[in-house]
Amino acid sequence: MKILKFLSLLIFSGALFGSCSSKDKVEDEQIRIIPLPNYYQSQPGVFEMDKNTVIGVDLSDTNMVSLANYLNEKFMRTTGFGLSIKSASEGIVFTLVEENDLGEEGYRMSVTPDGTQIYANTYHGIFNGIQSFLQLLPLDSTGDIAKINCIDISDKPRFAWRGLMLDVSRHFFTKQEVKRFIDLMAEYKYNVFHWHLSDDQGWRVEIKSLPRLTDVGAWRAPRVGNWWEREPQSVTDSLTYGGFYTQDDIREVVEYARERFITVVPEIDVPGHSMALLTAYPEISCTGGPFHVNVGNTFYTKEENSLCVGKEKTFAILDMIFDELVDLFPSSYIHIGGDECYKGFWAKCPDCRARMSSKQLQNVEELQSYFVKRVASHIQSKGKHVIGWDEILEGGLAKDAIVMSWRGMKGGVEAARQGHRVIMTPFEHCYLDLYQGDPAVEPNTYSMLRLRDCYKFSIVPDSIDASFVLGGQGNLWAESIPHYRQVEYMTWPRAMAISETLWNETDSRNWDFFIQRVESQFRYLDRLNVNYARSIYDPIISPSINDGELRIELTTEISGLDIFYTFDNTNPDCYSNLYTTALSVPKNATMLKVVTYRGKCPIGKQINLTIEELKERAKKKE
């Protein structure tokens, strides 16, 4: 044990194989691990595995056996053959150690020609080591042999909270789809699944004491088309679109996540975003309704979607909801939302005004603070920590509340300065529902968040004490995501970038090396039939108007691509005009068509834009 601890200290200090910061490893093409390990060193030789190779664990340790079975299942999926699990000190061996430097989730891995050793303080650390080992496996192995190059790795995460949020209210995703989402999260070392279970468009969790929540609140009229442009629900519509998770479903998903060392954090978004709740129980509104579950039509400020803070029954119902959630979710955290709460109906409500008078509240912001503090107090009395979006700062923070900062970093900075823990998830780096390529060839949404924007995420501002930052996460809001294939498209590869920013120090990042590893991961996702986005290959078209003339610059997000274009309405290929400098529009041209190539092969989507569209884009930038 002392020898192992000594070796670990040498590894972390760089004495064993030199200081091997990840930023120095661009040339090392065998490393395709995401997130990149903190320290690693390639070694001579290869480790060959065949059907006689064993996974060596203590067979009396059921947790180790479960980890071995997990590895074997994933190994078989990649290589086509499985391994036996034995009590052995050869092959692929898992060992628990006591090394302070590794912490709760760190691991060491040594791959030699004789075998692979994975060391960690905890089962979670072993699990993280397994993910790195699996990413070293060749994706083109054939026959009954798989080879990996020898390497030493010593690794641990920078932040304890590394999360992804999935919104299942705007569109419902099945239990099996949620499990698939969690499974891929685990492979990129995420450890928190934030489950957005309620909103204006649907209530998704069974609460046995309040059956109308799912009998009524989980269903709405079917609609397609652009969000906020849909025809409102009519009295003749059938309410067939939606769904919910039974409590048994919830327990099954929570257990599935636990086996992958992922904590499931539920969110019930209150007091705003509550139209589905009000549809089920209109008596806790300010106006009394009538209400219907929103179908994606505009309503904000015109129709009530915030709970009445003046009625005691509001808090009685919320207590019932959160009491059942506390029993369903073993997580230490409950998210209560608190964002985008329209307070206009409160200002006119006799019950809310009476509450403000009795509690000597000066404005509706303080009324929301009263609401948040009261709900938080009840949840905290059950032994849980409360999280809210950064709007819960308005009117005064609840005691010990954790702030999830989404409107940039400002809310997180303010909360940290007040001594509260924060989770950083600024929309400009972490909102996965935004465009990731040119809107002309992407599913309709709003704003832009390219892969590079995610990779630029710097989680701790210089102005605050880093100890207050629990971590960060990516958020996938589902207004424009009608099915699970689109969930995959919007999540990957951008979630790979966020994972790496949460795992490693900022100064270790190298964009070109990251892209090299992302492209290797594409091959892996192809084998899993994951519908990831290839938007990084698409051309970026930037029009501007200079001295009354339209000028067009063409770029790419990654290096090594050629850009070809036409103005004559033909489709460009590698024999068309090669872009070298900013373009002027030829006289009478009506259309620009652009495509990217790598060598002689087209790689990005072709983008076609009329000259009028380009002029409009240029005007918006002025």
Predicted confidence (pLDDT) per residue in 455-490, tens digit: 999 999 988 999 999 999 999 999 999 999 999 999
Are 385 and 487 contained in the same domain?
yes
Instruction: Read off the CATH number of the domain in which 593 is found.
Output: 2.60.40
Are 520 and 545 contained in the same domain?
no
- 97 occurs within a structural domain: yes
- 382 occurs within a structural domain: yes
The CA distance from 534 to 519, in Å, is: 10
CB 277 within 8 A of CB 320: no
- 532 occurs within a structural domain: no
CB 24 within 8 A of CB 513: no
Are 147 and 49 contained in the same domain?
yes
Mean pLDDT along residues 153-161: 97
Of 334, 386, 300, residue with least CA distance to 197? 334
Output the pLDDT for position 141.
Answer: 66
Are 521 and 545 contained in the same domain?
no
**In 66-189, at which residue ranges do the beta strands (DSSP E only) sit?**
84-86, 91-96, 107-112, 115-120, 146-155, 161-167
Confidence of residue 357 (pLDDT cuts 50, 70, 90): very high
Q: How many helices (H) and strands (E) does the chain have?
A: 18, 27
Per-residue model confidence as pLDDT tens digits over 370-426: 999 999 999 999 999 999 999 999 999 999 999 999 999 999 999 999 999 999 999
20 pLDDT higher than 90: no
Q: Which residues are catalytic?
A: 199, 273, 340
Query: How far are the Cα atoms of 533, 568, 581, 609, 618 from residue 550, in angstroms, in the given order?
Result: 31, 17, 14, 14, 8
Output the pLDDT for position 393.
Answer: 97
b/e sequence 516-541, b meaning 16+ C-beta within 10 Å = bbbebbeebbeeeebbbbebbbbbbb
Of 521, 546, 411, 510, residue with least CA distance to 469? 411
Per-residue model confidence as pLDDT tens digits over 492-537: 999 999 999 999 988 889 999 999 999 999 999 999 999 999 999 9
**In 292-347, at which residue ranges do the beta strands (DSSP E only) sit?**
333-337
Confidence of residue 29 (pLDDT cuts 50, 70, 90): low
Q: Given the structure tokens 């340790």, which residue do they identify?
A: 61
Per-residue model confidence as pLDDT tens digits over 77-90: 999 999 999 999 99
Host H or E run for residue 242: strand 241-242
Instruction: Read off the CATH number of the domain in which 36 is found.
Output: 3.30.379.10
- 484 occurs within a structural domain: yes
Question: What is the extent of the structural domain holding 498?
Answer: 161-527
Output the pLDDT for position 365.
Answer: 97
Are 170 and 274 contained in the same domain?
yes
Sheet with 115-120, edge to edge strand ranges: 39-49, 146-155, 107-112, 115-120, 91-96, 54-56, 84-86
Are 150 and 257 contained in the same domain?
no
* Domain-terminating residue out of 494, 527, 560: 527
The CA distance from 328 to 552, in Å, is: 55
pLDDT top residue among 143 and 132: 132
Are 177 and 256 contained in the same domain?
yes
What are the two backbone dihedrals, phi and then psi, of residue 137, each rounded to the nearest 5 degrees? -65, 140
263 pLDDT higher than 70: yes
Are 236 and 87 contained in the same domain?
no
- 110 occurs within a structural domain: yes
Q: Given the structure tokens 């590895």, which residue do they identify?
A: 71
* Domain-terminating residue out of 155, 184, 199: 155
Cα 154 from chain centroid (whole Å): 25
19 pLDDT higher than 60: no
Of 222, 11, 252, 244, residue with least CA distance to 109? 11
Q: Look at residue 41 and give its three-state secondary structure.
A: strand
The CA distance from 550 to 552, in Å, is: 7
Are 125 and 172 contained in the same domain?
no
Output the pLDDT for position 463.
Answer: 86
Are 227 and 302 contained in the same domain?
yes
Host H or E run for residue 511: helix 511-527
Q: Given the structure tokens 């209560």, which residue do they identify?
A: 336
607 pLDDT higher than 90: yes
How many structural domains comprise the chain?
Answer: 3
Are 240 and 197 contained in the same domain?
yes
Report if pTM > 0.85: yes
The CA distance from 307 to 355, in Å, is: 13
CB 112 within 8 A of CB 43: yes
- 29 occurs within a structural domain: yes
Q: Look at residue 185 and give its three-state secondary structure.
A: helix
- 196 occurs within a structural domain: yes
Instruction: Read off the CATH number of the domain in which 215 is found.
Output: 3.20.20.80
Confidence of residue 574 (pLDDT cuts 50, 70, 90): very high
pLDDT top residue among 192 and 9: 192
Sheet with 583-584, edge to edge strand ranges: 539-546, 549-556, 583-584
356 pLDDT higher than 60: yes
The CA distance from 431 to 491, in Å, is: 10
Confidence of residue 6 (pLDDT cuts 50, 70, 90): very low
Output the pLDDT for position 139.
Answer: 83
Q: Please, which residues have CB within 8 angstroms of residue 257's CB and are 6 or more apart in sequence?
A: 182, 193, 263, 264
Are 466 and 568 contained in the same domain?
no
Mean pLDDT estimate for the chain: 94
- 508 occurs within a structural domain: yes
The CA distance from 86 to 91, in Å, is: 10
Cα dihedral 573→574→576→580 (10° resolution): 120
The CA distance from 574 to 572, in Å, is: 7
* Domain-terminating residue out of 527, 558, 580: 527
296 pLDDT higher than 50: yes
Of 192, 189, 218, 188, residue with least CA distance to 205? 218
**In 465-582, at which residue ranges do the beta strands (DSSP E only) sit?**
469-476, 539-546, 549-556, 562-566, 577-578
CB 79 within 8 A of CB 88: no
Q: Please, which residues have CB within 8 angstroms of residue 53's CB and are 6 or more apart in sequence?
A: 83, 91, 92
15 pLDDT higher than 70: no
Per-residue tokens: 482: 């009608």
